[in-house]
Structure formats: structure tokens, C-alpha cells
Amino acid sequence: MNNITIVGAGTMGHSLAQVFAQGGYQIFLNDTSQGILIRAKSLIEANLETLAEAGLFDSKDNSTVVEERITYTTDLAAAVASSGLVIEAIVENPDAKKELFSKLDRLSPPETILASNTSYLDIYEFVETKRPEKVIITHWFAPPHIIPLVEIVPGPHTSPETVGIVKKILDDLGKQTIVLKKFLPGFIANRLQAALSLEVYHLLDNGYATPEDIDRATKASFGLRIPVLGLVKRVDFAGLDLVQHILRNKSYVPPKVKGRSDAIASMVSQGRLGVKTGKVFYDY
């Protein structure tokens, strides 16, 4: 497989194109407007510079070679005509993904594997193609050119051969791959993050602690252990007899999923939307 197509050149798509180009593939990067593609090109150039500054990429010899492997196009038919793998990283909307997969099924060669980078959607429920055995989820993490994990999530009709091909491509790129047994919303990593976030919002919403103290508690305690042990090995170290006592302790009640957080709503109403607005829980 020489040619790979990325559809959607936003936060994820531009970096996915870069990762595969760095791995030696010829890439077609597709989006709906030239402006977005021009921006994607400059983001890739900047990413490569940052990697070079960190000593992770030899820019002198390789930048031009990597950049020349990427063809930027708004023409979806041309983008997928010769690719063995297409990964979509378009908007997280079921109707948009459904429509795109039906186009990809029509426009790409029948043997092409069609992958989605969806974060939470069960695409297997709504995507219709004539090749369900070649449809698969590969869930990357931002920014894909830095974060190693890719969760591979086969659907009920995805063939073991498709899983094997995709896993080998990603492993050969140096990514850390996990194959889930079946779909569940949020896969592994986002579910764990979501569970932690529920507690963060609970602590903030009820005034138990300041943002600074929550972050200090995280960074000065279990945050240090996680990269070394993970979360399951930690249980081995804690001791399962102790864990059983903790499990039986009914005084701990996890927060309910409310679908909102007062702390987040208050920030949003003040226009404090994230680092991009300068002031949020912290000032930037």
C-alpha cells in the first residue's frame, strides 16, 4: 500500500497526513476549501519545525521530502482513486459521516479500507457501504504526530484481515495500537478521562476545591504513577484485599452524569472558552 487519503484537514486531519507522510506514504489530503488546505500545509510545516527543534526530526534532509509526499486537493474522487486506505477526520456528525462513507464507497477502489477517526460515534450503526468488512474505526489522539496511542475498533462485520492490515500499518509507523473487542462509546482512553472529568466538575461545582488545588493534587500524586504503572497494575501494587475493602465502602458515591457543569457553564457565559480566549480557569 503506497497511497493513503485523509479526508478532513482540521485539527486531526492535517497531523494524520503528516504522520503517514513521515512514514513514507504518498498522501492525498482532502477538505472542502482551498483555504483550509493552505492552512493545513502551513500547520504541517510548523509541526515539522517544532519536531526538529525538539530533536525528533531531521529537518535538513527530510522536511521537503515529507512535504512533497502530500497532495492537497478539494477533489474527493481524485483523492481516493488510488488509495488503499482512507481515513476520515471530518466533523463529528453522523449525517456528515454517513454521506461521506457512501461517497467513499462509490469513489474508491473496492479493496480500499475505509476508516473513521470518530471519537464517540457508533459508525457501524449508520454507515452503509458494500464493503462492511473493510470499514473500521482508528481513533487517534491530538496531536497525532506526538501522542502515540491509536485505538483500533472493529465493527461487527470488520474482517480480521482488515484489522491486521491496519494494525500493521500503524505499528510500522511507531504508533502504540490497541484493538478493542467491540465498539463502546469513548473506547478506553476517553472513557477513563470522562470518568475523571466527572469528578473534577463535581469538586468545582460544589466548591470543594480550587482549580489550582485539583491540579496540584493530580500532578503531585496519582498523576506521577499513571505513566509508570497505568491504572490496572496500580491495583496490583495497592493490594487486592485493600481494593476489596475500598469497593465495599458505600460512603463513596460517584457523581451522577448530569450533562452539565455549573463551573463550565459559568466560564462559558463570561466568554472564557479556553486558552484561545486568554482567560479561563487560569490566565494565559
Ligand X SMILES: NC(=O)c1ccc[n+]([C@@H]2O[C@H](COP(=O)([O-])OP(=O)(O)OC[C@H]3O[C@@H](n4cnc5c(N)ncnc54)[C@H](O)[C@@H]3O)[C@@H](O)[C@H]2O)c1
Query: Can you give the binding site for ligand X, defined by CB under 6 A?
Result: 7-13, 30-32, 36, 89-92, 96, 100, 117-119, 140-142
Helix residue spans in 128-188 (DSSP H): 160-172
- Tell me if residue 249 falls in helix, strand or coil: coil
Q: Which is nearer to ligand X, 7 or 114 (CB)?
A: 7
Residue 73: enclosing H or E segment and its boundaries? strand 70-73
154: number of Cβ within 10 Å: 21
Shortest Cβ distance from residue 275 to ligand X (Å)? 14
Q: Which is nearer to ligand X, 12 or 169 (CB)?
A: 12
Q: Which is nearer to ligand X, 32 or 197 (CB)?
A: 32
Q: Which is nearer to ligand X, 52 or 149 (CB)?
A: 149
Q: Which is nearer to ligand X, 90 or 267 (CB)?
A: 90
Question: In b/e form, how buried is each residue of 243-268, taking b as 16+ CB within 10 angstroms?
Answer: eeeeeeeeeeeeeeeeeebebbeebe
Shortest Cβ distance from residue 65 to ligand X (Å)? 25
- Tell me if residue 218 falls in helix, strand or coil: helix
180: number of Cβ within 10 Å: 14
Q: What's the CA gap between 281 and 189, in Å, rounded?
A: 24
Residue number of the CB atom closest to ligand X: 10
Q: Which is nearer to ligand X, 141 or 201 (CB)?
A: 141
Q: What are phi and psi of 62, to 5 degrees?
A: -110, -25
Shortest Cβ distance from residue 14 to ligand X (Å)? 8
Radius of gyration of the chain (CA): 21
Residue owning grid cell 486506505: 85
Shortest Cβ distance from residue 122 to ligand X (Å)? 13
Q: How far is CA 252 from CA 94, 127, 235, 246, 274, in A?
A: 37, 41, 18, 9, 31
Shortest Cβ distance from residue 183 to ligand X (Å)? 14
Shortest Cβ distance from residue 161 to ligand X (Å)? 25
